[in-house]
Each structure stands twice: as structure tokens, then as C-alpha cells.
A and B are shown apart, each in its own frame.
Chain A
Amino acid sequence: MRSNKMHDRMRTVADGAATGLAVLATILVVAPLIAVFVYLIYKGASSLNVDFFTKIPKPVGESGGGMANSIVGSAVLLSIASVLGIPLGIGGGIYLAEFGRGTRLANAIRFTADVLNGVPSIVMGIAAYSLVVVPMKHFSAFAGGVALAIMMVPTVTRTTEEMLLMVPNSIREAALGLGVPNWRSVLSITLKTASPGVITGCMLAFARVAGETAPLLFTALGNQFWSVNMNREIAALPLQIYIYALSPYDDQHRLAWAGALVLIVLIVLAVSLVRYVASRGILKGAS
């Protein structure tokens, strides 16, 4: 009897201990992450000013200057990546959701997309280097765009598929029943219904590659001056953050923090939008 009671008490203690540990783990995890955020906002906000968005970097040693060329460079790189990557991704998603559903090929493609998602970005950089830089014999914005595009395709494919699967079948059947050809029904009924979700999915992929540095190191290379030429080296925000972070000058550290804050704001906006759309249920009006 007595040992039974002891046993019960031990169980209660173990239960309490486990609960305590789980709570402690959560606190331990959330604390440093909040620290990252708070520190970033504090450092970044105190270094941001108008010059940051309008000026190009000053020569080393002079204070002031901004990262306007990097912001524009990032925009160029991301446009190239989006133009190349998003149509491919959406097409792939349409195939997975509308044509290949349940087939072995579709499963293999889905699996490959997931695996490709996990390949380190630096490897994408090497691939783009040997595909574009080596034949062209010089670094270029285009090579950087290709590297980022390769990274966008699997993400866009998977989100598009997911969003298309949310469209109720009755809508497709209604369209087909009215005599609309299948391709037309996919494009202007299914894809259109799912478009808010698909667009946010693209934004998510966009935000993800916007912060990528590794694939740009030896494709876009970086540039201290204005350049929007696709054939030349180009500056990019994450690249510049990396270079400035490791420089010995305080001024450049400040620019790095400001750049990081700008990047994060962009990403937070994208992620919040995705969540908002997902929680609202994109198909409220449709179904």
C-alpha cells in the first residue's frame, strides 16, 4: 500500500517535472529569438535614414552613404528570378494538382521538389556558376538571377499545388459542364479561384530568395557602383550585408544592420500576408 502511494507520488512529480521542462524549453527557445528580433530592430532603426535608400556606398573611411544600388540590384536579381522561376513553378503546380493527381510520376516530382528544397543554396550557386558564368566567362546579374530562380521553382510548385487542391471540385465540374475546354477551365476557373493563394505563395518564395546570399557570392559577385546591366556584376542587399558585417568599420556595420532590418521587414510582411490569406480561407467567396 505504502509503496503504491510512493509510486503515485513519483508519477505526479514526474508529470510536474515534464510540464516544467516543456515550459522551460519554450522559454529558452523564445528568449534568444526575441533577442535577435529586438536587437535587430533596435540596431537597424537607429541606423536607417533617407540616405540609406538614396545614396550609393561612400569609399571606405568616409562616413555616410547608403545602399541604394544594392536595393536596386536586389530588385533586378529578384525580377530575373521571378520571371524565370514563377511560371515554371506555377506550371509544375498545375500539373501536380490537375493532371497528374495520384500518378506515380506526380508523386516522384513532388518528392523531388521537396528534396530540392533542402539542397543548400551554395550548391545552387555553384550550379549557376558552371551553367552561366563559365560559358559567359564573367560574373553577371543574370547568373545570380538563374541561381535564385532554381531555388524558387520547388517552393512555388508546392504552394501552387496546395492552393489548387483547395478549389472545390464542383467548380471545375460546373465549368466543364458548361462546355468549357479543360485547359480553359484550369486557367480561368481553377487558377483564378486560387489566385490569391498562388500569389501569396509566390511572395513567400520571393521573400525567401530575397535574403539568400550564398548563391550570389560567385554569380552576381556584388558591385560598389550603380549598375542595372544584366551582363555585369551587380550589388545585392544580402551580399552587401555580408561584406559590411565583416568589414572593420563602424559605419559599415551600421549599414549592415539597417540593411538587415529592411530585409526582415520585407520578409515579415510577406509571411504575415501568407498567414492572413491562409487563415481567411482564400475560397470564401467561391465556395
Chain B
Amino acid sequence: MKVTAPLSDIRIRKPETISAPAAVTPANTQGEANKVAGEFRQPVSPEVSEVRRFLIGRGNSAIADRAFGGVMLACAASIFGIVLLIAVELVKQSQLSWHKFGLPFFYKFNVDPDTKVPLFWDPVNGSFFALPFIYGTLITSLVALLIAVPLAIGVAIFLTEMCPRFLRGPLSFFTELLAAIPSVVYGLWAFFVLVPLLRLHINPILMQIFNNPATVKLFGWTGLVGEDGLFGGVNLGLGLLAAGVILSIMILPIIASLTREVMTAVPHSQREAVLALGATRWEMIRVAVLRNARIGIVGSIILGLGRALGETMAVAMVIGNTAQISRSLLSTGHSMASVIANEFSEATSDLHRSALIEIGLALFVVTILVNGLARLLVWAVTRGTPARVA
């Protein structure tokens, strides 16, 4: 059973197409559309109407109108200005580090000639390489996505397809609330509750599983088990795993609510068609909902990734703040955002500060790319539905 629907089908019909006669006045159209569709949370005014264009053209205040429009345009264009200003300032301030280290800043490191220990971040000798921070950011975000994505999709499926009506309101309110809790509060909770929990209860179990001789014998060749593996080393509670877990809790509501939005945008006719063919509910969800919404779901996951990459405070509080690269998730580390938060205000030299700003610039560019991509994907699926601030 295969239902192939072109993406263009997954749009909610615009209000105009729902209410029949085009001659009705716009206000009427909206009212009707609201009544008919029922699902619309808000009416959307269609394009500027003929009547309005005519009336504006007839007005005798062309200068005032144009001036007002210009001022509003300036306000709107200030958003471009802000992005540009940020970019210019970051580039300007990171020149020092860029000239000194160049591109190898992001992938090279020095090795101590005596001890053979890699040196990444050495404010004393003025040598800075960003590799451990990039590693920390990637690993924590990856852990966060691995935990959050299946759960978020499960929640979204539950909310759109299975949830009893009376639960839907409170649950979505709850998720909205969670997205609004400040990072520092999550960090506080993670530092005092999650970290002890991991250290005392969860990490020992993981270490038991991954480090016992039988597993090592079976999977030793992967390099992921044993003392040098994913859960080797000292169990501090703080570290990459703790950061990943708190990140997953923070990005869950974002991914879940966007995924839900995308799933709601799949027309009911698709679901009904699949059910009419005798599919069970799960088959209906798989074939009609997930397959049609997949691009939007990927978009929401990428949006969550963007959030995870740039998350600062909660990570800085639990990651342990050490510039090192270690395979173990239990080891302490540093992420790009957390190193800036930790060292910026007490940077020892201009070069140090400039190197931190260069990391910030990299973060800026990456999050812009990631968010832009995600927005395009989500927009491709939900366009036609009312605009919403995510």
C-alpha cells in the first residue's frame, strides 16, 4: 500500500477556497472559513483587496502615507541591519585570531613535546585551537538528538492522533511553557538534581553494561566499550552525557510542538483514505501522516539541533569545563558556547578574546545555516497555514 502525495497536497486549503462565492466580502469569507474549518486558530486576511488599493490610491495624504510606510520599512529593515552588524562586528573582532591561526584554528592542535599530551587551549602560551569545543558541541547535540527525537515524535503522534480531547489543551500548554523556561533554570535543576542522579544511579548501570568483560569480549572491536569506551573513566556526574541529557530535555518541547504542527497540516482526507483501505491506526499514521509530514519533521529536528548547538548556560553549568577530547561520555568537556560564557569576561589577552569571538562567529554562521535550512523545510510543509512564531 503506497500513497504518494506530492508535497503541494499537504497544505491546508486557504480560506477563500473553502467558502464558495468569491463575491462575498473578505470579512464574511473569514467568518465562514472559521466556522467551516473549525481547525483554524486564526483567520488570515487574504492579499490586499481591490477596494483597499483603490481607497489608498484615492487618499489625499500621499506624502504622509509614504513617509509612514518608509519609517515602518526602516524598522523592518533593521532586522537585516542587526544581522549584518553582528556579522561585521564578529568578523572585525576576530581578525587577530584569524591572522594568527588561520583555518587550522578549527582542526589542528599542538602536542606538548615532553608529555605527548595534545594542547588545544593554552592562554598562558597564547596558542588557541577550537577542536575540543567543536567536538563537545557536536557530541552533546548528538546525544540530545538521539534522546529527544524518538520521544518528541512519539509525543507528537500521541497529541495529534490518539490524545483524548480533554488532555490536548493542557499538554500543549505545558509544552509551550517548557519552551519558555530560561536556560539558567534548566541548568540549576540539572546541576542539583540531574547530575547527582546520573552519578549515583544511571551512570553505574551504564558502566555495568558497557564495561563488563562479556560485552568487552563481544564488542571490543568497536572501541566503544570497556575502559576506553563510551562509558569509561571516572564517573563524576558532570560531563558530556549530563550536558546531552539536559539539552535533550530542553529541545524536546521545540521538536515536539513543531512536529505536531506539521502533522496537523496533513489533510484529513489522506488519513480517511488510508483508513478506508482497512489500515490499522498505526499503519494509517505511518503511511498517511509520517510519510507526508517527513520533510517538515526533518525540519523541526534540524531546528532543535540549531537550538542545541547554541545553548549556553545549562551546558556551561554541567559540562565540566575542560578543554579536552575524550571518547568517554562521562568525561568532562567544553562546548563552543560554554567556553565563551566561561572565559570571555576574564580573557587574559586580546588574542584570547579574539579567539573566543572567532568561535562565536563560527557558531553564528553554523546556526544561521542550520536555522535557515530548517525554516525552509518547515515552511515547505506548513505554508498556507497561518504564520506562527515558533
Given contacts A28-B151, A122-B363, are A169 and B49 in contact (CB under 8 A)?
yes
Interface residues of B in 168-199 (CB under 8 A from A): 171, 173-174, 176-178, 180-189, 191-193
Any B CB within 8 A of the CB of A76: no
Complex Cα–Cα for A245 and B64 (A): 54
Partner of A176, one of B52, B153, B176, B388: B52
Chain A residues 177-213 with CB under 8 Å of chain B are 177, 179, 181-184, 186, 201, 204, 207-208, 210-213
Check A25 against B150 for contact (C-beta < 8 Å). Answer: yes
Contact A158 B75 (CB under 8 A): no
Given contacts A91-B76, A130-B89, A218-B345, A172 and B176 within 8 Å (CB-CB): no
With an 8 Å Cβ cutoff, the count of chain A residues facing the other chain is: 118
A263 touches B185 (CB 8 A): yes
Q: Which residues of B contact A210 (CB under 8 A)?
A: 182
Q: State whether the Cβ of A18 lies closer than 8 Å to any Cβ in chain B.
A: yes
A92 touches B341 (CB 8 A): no
Task: Give the most central of A109, A201, A268, A270: most B CB within 10 Å.
Answer: A109
Any chain A CB within 8 A of the CB of B207? no
Known: A21-B154, A182-B61. A170 touches B341 (CB 8 A): no
B44 touches A118 (CB 8 A): no
Residue ID in chain A nearest B378 by CB atoms: A114
Q: How far is the CB of B338 from chain A (nearest CB, A)?
A: 9
Q: Does A98 have its Cβ within 8 Å of any Cβ on chain B?
A: yes
B323 at the interface (CB under 8 A from A): no
The residues of B that contact A179 with a CB separation of less than 8 Å are 59
Q: Is the CB of B93 within 8 A of A130?
A: yes
Within 8 A of A (CB), among B144-163: 150-155, 157-159, 161-162
Contacts of B182 in A (CB 8 A): 210-213, 238, 263, 267
Task: List chain B positions with a Cβ less than 8 A from chain A.
Answer: 25-27, 30-31, 41-49, 51-52, 55-56, 59-61, 64-65, 67-69, 71-80, 82-83, 85-86, 89-90, 92-93, 150-155, 157-159, 161-162, 171, 173-174, 176-178, 180-189, 191-193, 249, 252-253, 256, 280-283, 285, 303, 306-307, 309-313, 317, 337, 340-341, 344-345, 356-357, 360, 363-364, 367-368, 370-372, 374-375, 386-390
Q: Is A245's CB under 8 angstroms from B390's CB? A: no
Across the interface, do A22 and B82 meet the contact criterion of CB distance under 8 Å? no
Contact A162 B389 (CB under 8 A): yes
Choose one: A35, A158, A176, A246; the contact of B55 (CB below 8 Å). A176
CB of A83 closer than 8 Å to a CB of B: no
- CB within 8 A of A116: which of B74, B82, B185? B82
3 tightest Cβ-Cβ pairs between the two chains A and B: A211-B182, A120-B310, A25-B154
**Could you say which residues of chain A place their CB within 8 Å of the CB of B181?**
36, 211, 264, 267
Of A95, A119, A184, which is within 8 A of B69 by CB?
A: A95
Can you show 17 pairs from A to B with CB atoms below 8 A apart?
A15-B283, A99-B72, A112-B83, A117-B371, A118-B303, A118-B370, A121-B183, A157-B76, A162-B389, A169-B49, A173-B49, A176-B59, A210-B182, A217-B344, A242-B187, A256-B188, A260-B185
